[in-house]
Amino acid sequence: MTVYAASYDLENVDLCIPGAAKLVEIHRKHEMPATFFCVASVVEKRGEELKAIFGDDPLIDVQSHTYYHRMLRDHLVHGPGIPVEELWVEVGKAADYIGEVFGTRPIGMRSGCGFEHGMKGEPERLKVIAACGMEYISTQLRGPYETIPSPFVDAYTYEADGFPEVWEFPTAGWHDNVLKGYGAHPTMFPGIYPFALPAGPVTNAREDFEAAKPWVDYAMEQGKAYVGLCYHPWSLYTLDPECGTIDLMLAYAKSIGMEGVSYTELYRRTKG
Ligand SMILES: [Zn+2]
């Protein structure tokens, strides 16, 4: 049975606070867990407020979205990757700092932006990522030629690059900020699935949910292990200060019998 893996990339220093507060409230209402992948340099500025919002709640899982949101490898759209040695900051120092603030050191990381092939073919970089204590990463977030949306790809390990203990959990679908028209990114034409390309940017929570729903349905129909969409507190909040997209989405996932899991729980179940 497909599970709904909820995650939010927390990266906006101003809107992360009202956005996260609303999202946590919605997840509590539906009793569904969520992972917040947090940018450490944002936690530096808003850590105390975020701690108060997340509380000591088993529904809320805090992991890393790197230190400064820099490119972990070369990106066709966003430019060159940082030097390998900088990964000790972007991955390692980020986990150290987030662990210090929230009390549990992350074992998972969502990269900034994401890549068509995740970290495949980058053994030197994976070596640092593994040495920094990352047991799972979520870096395959894009379609062909780094386009958005991203196709469904099952979780895999980096065994082919020499790291069988490091897992990858790709996301599927749109990056919600792009779906909302907050920033231009290349998309694939024709769409990777019949439902992949909506007529235009979504303008309210109902449309936002309706555009994401086919991805959830497709995962269910195809018997995928999980559906993990790419959401940001800042863009959900900008579209609708109630973050109504997620209220609709969690209610829908439950209504079709999907269990909700955090990414960390998804990782634990997948590795067995
Ligand atoms: Zn991000």
Instruction: Tell how far the Cα of 62 is from the centroid of ligand 1, in angstroms.
Output: 15
* Average confidence (pLDDT) over 214-227: 98
Instruction: Tell how far the Cα of 125 is from the centroid of ligand 1, in angstroms.
Output: 19
For residue 19, the Cα-to-chain-centroid distance in whole angstroms is 15
Instruction: Tell how far the Cα of 37 is from the centroid of ligand 1, in angstroms.
Output: 9
Domains in the chain with CATH codes: 3-271 (3.20.20.370)
Instruction: Tell how far the Cα of 9 is from the centroid of ligand 1, in angstroms.
Output: 5
For residue 1, what pLDDT is reported?
Answer: 92
Q: Using the predicted structure, report yes or no on whether residue 112 has a pLDDT greater than 90.
A: yes
Instruction: Tell how far the Cα of 8 is from the centroid of ligand 1, in angstroms.
Output: 9
pLDDT digits (tens, 9 = 90+) for 131-171: 999 999 999 999 999 999 999 999 999 999 999 999 999 99
Q: Is the pTM higher than 0.95?
A: yes
Residues with CB under 5 A from ligand 1 (ion): 9, 11, 112
Measured between alpha carbons, how far is residue 27 from residues 32, 39, 122, 269 in Å?
5, 21, 36, 21
Half-sphere exposure of 154 (CA within 13 A, CB side): 9
User: 10 Å Cβ neighbour count for 51?
Assistant: 15
**Residue (of 14, 82, 69) closest to 41 by Cα position:** 69
Q: Using the predicted structure, report yes or no on whether residue 127 has a pLDDT greater than 90.
A: yes
Instruction: Tell how far the Cα of 263 is from the centroid of ligand 1, in angstroms.
Output: 16
